[in-house]
Structures are given as C-alpha cells and as structure tokens.
C-alpha cells in the first residue's frame, strides 16, 4: 500500500501509545542471549536486535493449551468454544512471518480449523527486518525467507535514525491513524531501504550445499534409508525441544479435563511432539515410529518433502531454532549437507 | 480473554444414544447407536467415527455396519485404553459423543460390477463387515464374492451368527480358518494366507480387500499378487493413533498421508513404497 | 456415599501430606467429593474402614512390608503419594551401603534394636493403582490424579523428559547456563516446576523408561560432566530403581 516513516526518537511513544489501545507483545531479553515474545508497555522493554525467540510467535496463533469444547454431564450438553485475545505482535522477523503463513495454510486446509482462523484475525502483525544474519544457525536464504514475503500488517526496517514502515493492510492503516506518530517519507528513505535489501542479497547466501528448488528432491525415497538417520538415532535424546520451538510444527494432542465438581469440564488441545515415544503408538501397543532416528527422519521429511508435495512450500523457515536449542547439537544444516554429500549432489 | 460459541467447529459432538450392547468376547463389546432424531450417519463403508465420553476423552472407532442399515449404526470396541475401558462400562440408553464419519472409506463406486475377495484377520472383520454387508445388501451390483476369515481360536470369531449366515449364502463363497482349533471346530486350521491359493479368480476384474493386524498385510498381499491382482486393485485399511480425525494433529501420519483423512482405506499401490505404512 | 480416603505415612518427611493440607480452596472442593477418615497431620480421629488409601513414604523395614500389605487388602484403590512412595526417594540412598554398617553409623550402640531392609517404593511391595510422583507432590497433578481415581479411569505419568515441558515454559536450558540438570532423563508431569523457579531438576519424578543412553553420554562428554557424578545425582532419588526386578507379579 504505502510507506511511512517513524523516527527512532518516537519509537518508545509508539509502543506505549499502542499499548494503551491494545495488548502489545514483542521480543524481550531473557539473558544468556535468549529472547521471548512477552507483553510490553513501552519500547524500552523491547530488544530490537534479537536472535529468534525461544518459542516463535506461533504461541499466540495456536496457544499451547486451547479449549475446544465445554461439557456439562448432568445437562448432557456440549458446546464448541473459542477463547481469544486481541493483540498486536511487534517485531516479527521474516522467518517467523513465513512460519505463520505455513500455519495459515495448514489450518485453512479442509476441513477448516475455525478456532485458528478466527483467532488469527484478532492478531495484528508488525514485522521487523533483519538487516544482517542473526547467527550461524540461521538458514533463511536457502528457504527464501531472508526478505519479506508479505504476511504482515506493518513492516519495520531500521534506517539510521528512523524506521521505514511498509503499511500493508487496513489494520496497519488503523494503527498509523491511532498512534499519530508516522510521517511521510522521502525518496531518500526508499533508496536507503533498497540499499539494505541489495546488501542483504549480497551477504545472504544459500547456507547449505543445496539449491532451494532441489531440497525436496534431496528428501527422496533413497534418503529415507540414509545412514544420516542412524547417526541421529544415536544422538537424539527425544527431549522434544526441536518441535516445541519450530514455527511450523503444529501437531497436537486432545485431552479431556473434568472440574472438581466431576460434572463440568472441557476438551482441550495441547501442543504435542512427534519426537516423544508415545506419539505414534496405537492403543494395541504397536509403535509406528519406534526409534528416535525414525522420529527425527519424520521431522525432517515433514519440513522438506511432505508439505512441498501437499502445499508447494517448505515448512522450514530457516529460523535455526531447532539447531540452536538441540541438547545433542543436531544441526539442520549439517543434516541437509550430509544427505547431499551421501547422494553426491552437485549444486 | 474473550470467549465465543462456535457452531461450525469440527470438534462439536453429536449425542449418540446406545440402543443395544453385547459383550462379544472378553475384550470386544458391540454397540448399536442412534443419533438424535434418528438422523442417519451417512457414512461410507470403511469410515470411522470419534467416540467420546465427556471428562475421559475420545477414541477413533471403525463403523461396523453398512450404510444400508438406516436409523442407527454399529461399533465394536476393543478394550485397550482409557476411553475404550470406560466405553465397556456403558449400557443401553447411556450416551456417547460422536464426531464424524471421517476418512476415505472403500470406494464402492469403483468396486461396482467387479469381483471381490475379502480377507479379514482378527479384528479386521469389524470395519470390513460394513463393506461385506453393503455388498450383500446390493448383491446384484457386484460380481463374484469370496469371503476369507481368520482368527486365533473359534472363540475369537466375532459376529458368529452373522458369519454363519454368510457361509450359508449361495451368492458368496465363504471360507474360514483359525490358528488353534477346539474339538467342535469343523473349519480349516492354519494361517489365513493358506486360504488364498484355493480361490479361483479373474485378476483383471477382481479387487482384493484386506483388513487385519499389521503383520497380516504383508503376507496376504504377497498371496494376492501371486494371483496377479493389480496393485491398485488391492485395498487395505490401516490403523493409526488418531486424535483429531481431520488431518491436522499429526499422530496418524504415514509419510505424506494423514491416515485419518487420506485413509484409512488405501490401495496397495498408494502405500507400497511408504516405508512406515505396513 | 462419598468414597472414604485414608492417608498413611511410611518412611518420609510427611511433607507431601503437608502439601495437601496447604491446598487452600481446592481442598474444600476435594472434601465435597470424599470423606477423609484418617489423616494424622490434620485430624485426631482415625478409621480402619476406607476405600482409597493414599500412601506416603517408602518401605524400609519388615514391619513396613506387613503394614502396607494389610492396607492393600483393605483398600479398593491404592495411591502412591510423593517420591518416597513412588520411586523410593532419598531414603533409597542407604541402598548404596552395607545395611549393617549404615545402621551402626546412624544408631551407634542402639543399632541392635532396629531392623532394616533395602528401601523400596510402594509398588515394589504391593500393587499400586495410581502414582503421584514428585518431592513434594505437585498440587495440579495431585488434583488430576484424584479426579481420575474418582472417575475410575487410569492416570498415566508422562513417560517423556521434563525438557518437553521446560521448553514450553521458555526456560533457558540449565546446560546453556553451565549447570547440570536431570531434566533430560526425568519423567515430565511437573510442568518443569523447579526450573521455572530457577532451580535444576533433581530427578524426583523417576527416570523415563527408555532414556537415550548414547545421546545422553554424548551430552555429558560435550559439557565435560563425569558420568559417575551424574549417576550420583540420579541416585539421590532413584537408587531403589535397581530393585525393580523384585516387583510383584500381580
């Protein structure tokens, strides 16, 4: 739609005035070079230069625990419900914008998930550009997420003493109206933005020895039998960290909870991990992914092959969280490179 | 936190009233269930429903009756976990939550006019019965029909009276085997695979429909392939852990398939290269 | 009629019973559902007529064995309550030593007046229907298990690592802070209670049934943590796991 400018001097006012209208969440520092999205009241609480948060903003779109139905046994009634909260999410990197797009696709695939689809439109997304690599674990270029590909209401790019802001939607315009801190930009600012993007095109290189389009073919039937998974079998401890932090992992469990009156209660879905042992076990005891290696293989194929076949999109956003968080130091880039080497792939 | 009521959620359940129950074996219990106002479930043979008890949870259960049975449907529940354990305590006029029907059932339109060989091992008869009775109720729409059943012992045979009826019919060929016989048993003894070589069939126009425990599939499919039945004419129904029933929660995934949505019925052709399928 | 509940304590600090007394409002809801007939810490009456026995503490003498067997005979439902009851807990540390020697060390000349046997968890002596792990018990889990028991449905202690829950709480990994934590080998279900509050996991819920031996060794090597040091840490709560083969068949 259009570009506007926000002076850095006004950033704190911007967040605090926004926080008066709506709940605002943004990346805050947790120490030890860790960050998480949390509620903020002022811009000072926000860390603008952050590496991907421990959990991605997925937690607002698909809460860790979400009530689906409520029941009353005595009245023999069940109601389907949605619990939601209006919120502005500030500071979403392009990798996480891509993650949200992946979730949108999954939950709008038929049959549609009404809970997700209604909730997502209660959330305002303000993106924030990474002008440089966050760290050595990221691989956003190979999956093409180092530059913005939509999925936001406003998008901030840091210039010298200001942010150039892309206003992408009506919701974004509303924020501009309500906060009254944005000013028109000059051509000079657009030139600077273009210079940043040009520099990014230079410094962001495919982080693995595989081309973007070839990732899906790398995860072929032969790769299913690869030695790589035997290696991961020995190293993985099935702590489930990689799936918890992944912006595109959406597996869940559904559990009943009864209240202490033993009459009313709810059916709740909760994040689940395909890396845990019981995940694919049927009631009779058969486990269809018995070993940690099989489960790791499943995770990788769920990022690079199955969604590519179903939705023509990789479900790896290149955020690097799974590698960053892995206790066993299993690295996504190393795994992909090992597969490429095994298949004697040439870029 | 705001709360809204949803009328179009996939997780809304209908109240199913239990009309009849029967303890079939120590582990298997039969239920006949009606939806409010006698609404038909409108399922395809081979589909499943999510059955729930509030406060306990949900479990995926195959529909055992043919859609030609109107006004109510039938389930057979094996006691294997928390939800099925509680289901076993329920009796006539108790209620359960029903979601569904879900998944792809047997492709009856494609089967129409063709010869059919049904192979059911153990509990496999539960989902397969929905198709067998559908075919029997529409008998002239299908070609030659062979029914092969197998189970551990004669006591494990489910739907004994109905199976007796099938065996007496002149319009189906019926054979049956048990792993271990008792003195009264007059049928075959041995694995179900031993029944297949004796069947005469025209592979071009025959569909093999196989349902049973995971270990059975490989061996039965080998026998059917030996009979030259094309891979895309062999149908199987797979069991997986399922939570949502609508292709989201990930538990039932077989490579790129969601068993609950893309299955549970697959052609052998679809799954033969899927390493985690059989 | 409401189910009758009795609390029993064996070798323990009784802190888990105290935890129950501290429940506040939820305790009132629980008392609407059950009649507590024996609870030494909060009431003087006691009754031998009960449906649900909640057993705290580990089994450390022959007399304990006899007493706990009698409780099993009377109770319809037995709940092992707290680390000592579910996994043996810290009382299990004595299993590392020669029992006669350790008795003399503790009781000096009085040792001859005491009998002792290796510390066992309750399920290593009698059949247990429900397990409420943790030291002390984690209140939300206690309520969950009580509700399951009252509904007559099983409760399964999660058989995956504390890390699964810890990451969902966005805690910073203790290993990244340079601190050894038993989260990777300990059963979840406590919502990473200790780590949320800045402490490490001490393994008080018992070990996951299928820990990744290879992977765990890699991690220890990576962080330069000696194996026997970690085994020592695990043994603080988990030593009686070695008696698992003594589990009764029933």
Task: Write down the ipTM of this complex.
Answer: 0.91
Q: How confident is the model at residue C249 (pLDDT cuts 50, 70, 90)?
A: very low
Task: Kindly indicate whether the domain formed by B108-237 is annotated with CATH number 3.90.1150.10.
Answer: no
Q: Which residues in C lie closer than 8 A to residue A287 (C-beta atoms)? A: none
CATH class held by domain B14-102: mainly beta
Q: Convert the pLDDT of each residue in A40-92 to its tens digit.
A: 999 999 999 999 999 999 999 999 999 999 999 999 999 999 999 999 999 99
Report, as an integer, the average pLDDT of B171-177. Answer: 94
Q: Do the bridges between strand A162-167 and strand A154-158 make them parallel or antiparallel, or are there none, so unpaired?
A: antiparallel
- Interchain pair A260, C147: CB under 8 A: yes
Percent of chain C with pLDDT over 90: 76
Percent of chain A with pLDDT over 90: 95
Q: Convert the pLDDT of each residue in B49-96 to its tens digit.
A: 999 999 999 999 999 999 999 999 999 999 999 999 999 999 999 999
Q: Is the pLDDT of residue B278 over 90?
A: no
| Paired residues of A37 in beta bridges | A27
- Interchain pair C210, A277: CB under 8 A: yes
Token pair of A29 as six digits: 């520092």
Q: Which range (B186-195, C7-16, C190-199) has the least confidence?
A: B186-195
Percent of chain C with pLDDT over 70: 98
- Interchain pair B85, C151: CB under 8 A: no
Helices (H), chain C: 15-21, 25-33, 62-74, 83-87, 99-107, 139-151, 162-168, 193-196, 213-222, 227-238
pLDDT at C24: 85
Kindly give, in sequence order, each residue whose CB lies less than 8 Å from that of residue B239, ignoring residues fewer than 6 positions away.
A282, A284, A286, B214, B264
pLDDT at C158: 94
DSSP structure string for A112-165? P-HHHHHHHTTEEEEEE--SS---TT--TTTTT-SS--S--SEEEEE-SSEEEE
Q: How confident is the model at residue C245 (pLDDT cuts 50, 70, 90)?
A: low
More confident residue, B261 or C41: B261
Q: Which range (A46-60, C44-58, C79-93) has the least confidence?
A: C44-58
Q: Is the pLDDT of residue A166 over 50?
A: yes
Q: What is the CB neighbour count within 10 angstroms for residue A337? A: 17
pLDDT at A286: 86
Confidence (pTM):
0.94
A36: closest CA among A15, A49, A52, A16? A52
Q: Is the pLDDT of residue C25 over 60?
A: yes
Q: Convert the pLDDT of each residue in A312-344 to its tens digit.
A: 999 999 999 999 999 999 999 999 999 999 999
Question: Where do the domains of chain B lie?
Answer: 14-102, 108-237
Q: How confident is the model at residue C42 (pLDDT cuts 50, 70, 90)?
A: confident
pLDDT at A40: 98
Among chain A residues, CA nearest to C31:
A260
| Selected residue of A249, A260, A277 to mutate for chain C interface (largest C Cβ count, 10 A) | A260
- Among C26, C163, C177, beta carbon nearest to A239: C163
- Interchain pair C167, A240: CB under 8 A: yes
C149: closest CA among C244, C75, C227? C75
Q: How confident is the model at residue C45 (pLDDT cuts 50, 70, 90)?
A: confident
Q: What would the CATH number be for the domain defined by C4-156? A: 3.40.50.700
pLDDT at C250: 41
> In whole angstroms, how far apart are CA B204 and each of B6, B207, B227?
50, 9, 10
Outline which parts of chain C fall under CATH 3.40.50.700.
4-156
pLDDT at C46: 84
Q: Which residues in A lie closer than 8 A to residue C222 (C-beta atoms)? A: 329
Tell me the average pLDDT of chain A. 95
Chain A, 143 to 202: residues with Cβ < 8 Å from chain B are: none
pLDDT at C243: 86
Q: Convert the pLDDT of each residue in B10-59 to its tens digit.
A: 999 999 999 999 999 999 999 999 999 999 999 999 999 999 999 999 99
For Cα atoms B194, B195, B198, give the angle at the middle one, nearest 5 degrees: 110
Question: Where do the domains of chain A lie?
Answer: 2-203, 212-342
Q: How confident is the model at residue B187 (pLDDT cuts 50, 70, 90)?
A: confident
Size of interface A-B (CB pairs under 8 A): 147
Report, as an integer, the average pLDDT of C122-127. Answer: 97
Report, as an integer, the average pLDDT of C191-213. Answer: 94
Among chain C residues, CA nearest to B81:
C154
């Amino acid at each position: 739609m259009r570009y506007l400018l926000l002076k850095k001097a006004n950033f704190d006012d911007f967040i605090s005035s926004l926080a008066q209208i709506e709940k605002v969440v943004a990346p805050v520092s947790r120490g030890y070079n860790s960050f998480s999205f949390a509620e903020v009241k002022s811009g000072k609480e926000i860390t603008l230069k952050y590496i991907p948060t421990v959990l991605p903003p997925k937690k607002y779109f698909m809460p860790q625990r979400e009530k689906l139905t409520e029941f009353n046994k005595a009245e023999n009634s069940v109601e389907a419900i949605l619990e939601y909260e209006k919120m502005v999410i500030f500071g979403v990197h392009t990798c996480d914008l891509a993650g949200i797009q992946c979730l949108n696709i999954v939950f709008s695939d038929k049959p549609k998930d009404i809970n997700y689809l209604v909730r997502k439109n209660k959330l305002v997304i303000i993106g924030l550009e990474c002008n440089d690599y966050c760290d050595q674990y990221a691989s956003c270029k190979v999956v093409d997420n180092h530059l913005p590909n939509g999925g936001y209401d406003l998008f901030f790019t840091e210039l010298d003493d200001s942010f150039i802001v892309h206003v992408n939607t009506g919701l974004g315009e509303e924020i501009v109206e309500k906060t009254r801190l944005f000013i028109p930009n000059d051509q000079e600012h657009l030139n600077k933005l273009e210079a940043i993007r040009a520099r990014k095109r230079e410094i962001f290189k495919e982080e693995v020895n595989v081309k973007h389009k070839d990732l899906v073919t790398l995860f072929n039937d032969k790769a299913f039998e690869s030695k790589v998974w035997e290696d991961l079998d020995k190293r993985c401890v099935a702590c489930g960290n990689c799936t918890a932090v992944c912006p595109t992992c959406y597996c869940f469990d559904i559990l009943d909870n009864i209240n202490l009156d033993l009459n009313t209660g709810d059916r709740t879905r909760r994040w689940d991990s395909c890396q845990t042992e019981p995940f694919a076990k049927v009631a009779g005891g058969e486990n269809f992914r018995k070993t940690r290696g099989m489960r790791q293989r499943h995770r990788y194929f769920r990022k690079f092959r199955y969604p590519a076949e179903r939705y023509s999109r990789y479900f790896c956003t290149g955020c690097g969280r799974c590698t960053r968080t892995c206790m066993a130091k299993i690295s996504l880039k190393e795994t992909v490179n090992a597969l490429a080497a095994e298949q004697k792939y040439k870029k | 936190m705001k709360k809204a009521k949803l009328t179009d959620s996939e997780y809304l359940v209908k109240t199913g009233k239990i009309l009849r129950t029967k303890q079939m074996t120590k582990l298997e219990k039969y239920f006949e269930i009606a939806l409010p106002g006698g609404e038909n479930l409108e399922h395809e043979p081979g589909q499943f429903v999510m059955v729930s008890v509030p406060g306990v949870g949900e479990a995926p259960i195959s529909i055992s009756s043919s859609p030609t049975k109107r006004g109510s449907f039938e389930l057979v529940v094996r006691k294997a976990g928390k939800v099925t354990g509680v289901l076993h305590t329920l009796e006539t006029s108790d209620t359960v939550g029903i979601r569904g029907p879900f998944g792809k059932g047997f492709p009856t339109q494609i089967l129409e006019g063709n010869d059919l060989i049904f192979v059911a091992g153990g509990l496999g008869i539960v989902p397969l019965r929905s198709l067998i009775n559908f075919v029997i109720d529409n008998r002239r729409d299908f070609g030659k029909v062979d029914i092969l059943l197998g189970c551990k012992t004669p006591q494990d045979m489910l739907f004994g009276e109905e199976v007796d009826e099938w065996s007496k019919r002149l319009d189906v060929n019926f054979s049956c085997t048990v792993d271990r016989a008792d003195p009264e048993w007059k049928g075959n003894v041995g694995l179900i695979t031993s029944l297949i070589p004796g069947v005469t069939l025209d592979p071009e126009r025959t569909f093999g429909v196989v349902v049973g425990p995971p270990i059975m599939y490989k061996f039965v499919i080998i026998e059917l392939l030996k009979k030259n039945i094309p891979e895309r004419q062999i149908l199987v129904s797979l069991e997986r852990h399922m939570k949502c029933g609508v292709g989201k929660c990930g538990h039932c995934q077989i490579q790129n398939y969601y068993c609950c949505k893309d299955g549970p019925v697959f052609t052998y052709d679809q799954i033969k290269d899927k390493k985690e399928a059989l | 009629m409401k189910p009758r509940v009795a609390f029993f304590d064996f070798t323990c600090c009784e802190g888990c019973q105290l935890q129950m007394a501290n429940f506040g409002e939820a305790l009132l809801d629980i008392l609407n559902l059950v009649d507590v007939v024996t609870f030494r810490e909060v009431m003087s009456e006691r009754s031998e007529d009960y449906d649900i026995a909640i057993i705290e503490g580990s089994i450390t003498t022959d007399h304990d064995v006899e007493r706990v067997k009698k409780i099993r005979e009377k109770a319809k439902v037995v709940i092992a309550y707290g680390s000592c009851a579910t996994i043996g807990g810290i009382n299990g540390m004595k299993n590392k030593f020669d029992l006669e020697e350790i008795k003399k060390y503790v009781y000096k000349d009085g040792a001859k007046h005491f009998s002792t046997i290796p510390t066992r968890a309750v399920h290593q002596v009698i059949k247990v229907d429900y397990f409420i792990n943790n030291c002390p018990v984690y209140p939300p889990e206690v309520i969950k298990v009580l509700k399951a028991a009252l509904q007559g449905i099983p409760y399964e202690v999660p058989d995956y690592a504390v890390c699964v829950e810890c990451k969902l709480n966005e805690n910073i990994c203790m290993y990244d802070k340079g601190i050894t934590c038993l989260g990777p080998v300990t059963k979840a279900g406590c919502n990473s209670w200790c780590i949320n509050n800045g402490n490490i996991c001490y393994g008080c819920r018992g070990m996951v049934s299928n820990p990744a031996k290879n992977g765990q060794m890699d991690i220890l090597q990576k962080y330069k943590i000696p194996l026997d040091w970690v085994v020592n840490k695990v043994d603080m709560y988990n030593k009686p796991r070695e008696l698992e083969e003594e589990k009764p068949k029933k």
